[in-house]
Structure 1
Amino acid sequence: MKYIIDRFEGTYAVCEDEMKNMVNIPKYKLPMEVKEGDSLIDDDGIIRINDKEADERRKKVNQMMSKLFK
């Protein structure tokens, strides 16, 4: 399963899954370095950051922002 971190609320990361559902994942299950906007992969209960997808998403957002503010 894949997730995108939307925000943090208390002891949870509020994430969007592949089906566009919002789910709460306890922070203790996540890597220490996660931040909002990171893409995650749940591989049999081990959650890790999907660095490649996260970088692609950041590039896309930066491109949209630069077009918006030109």
Structure 2
Amino acid sequence: MRKGIIDRFEGEYAVVEFDGTTEDILKSEVPAEAKAGDTLIFEGDGVTIDKTDTRKRKNEIQNLMDELFEE
């Protein structure tokens, strides 16, 4: 199993970051509802969205932004 984060979509590819390096993965190989910022789990022939990790990372980012822009 390995985990990656969708950085962006370019044409028919999802650009996924794995430990600081990126790989182009065909969009047809990731879940249709996947979007930039989602954490993906690659296991065997399947790919799923790790909704718990995605939510956790988004909350951490939001908290950092809130701290940065406090008046």
TM-score range, shorter chain: over 0.9
Show the counterpart of 1:2.
Answer: 3
Distance 1:26 1:16 in 2: 14
Superposition CA RMSD, Å = 0.8
Rg bigger for which structure? 2
Distance 1:55 1:39 in 2: 9
Percent sequence identity over aligned pairs: 38
Show the counterpart of 1:12.
Answer: 13
Distance 1:59 1:52 in 2: 11
Return structure 1 stretches of 4+ with deviation > 6 angstroms: none
Q: Summarize deviations over 1:31-70 as a string: whole Å, max 9, x none.
A: 1111110000001020000011101100000001111111
If the length of structure 1 is used for normalisation, what is the TM-score?
A: 0.93
SS at match of 1:60: helix
If the length of structure 2 is used for normalisation, what is the TM-score?
A: 0.92
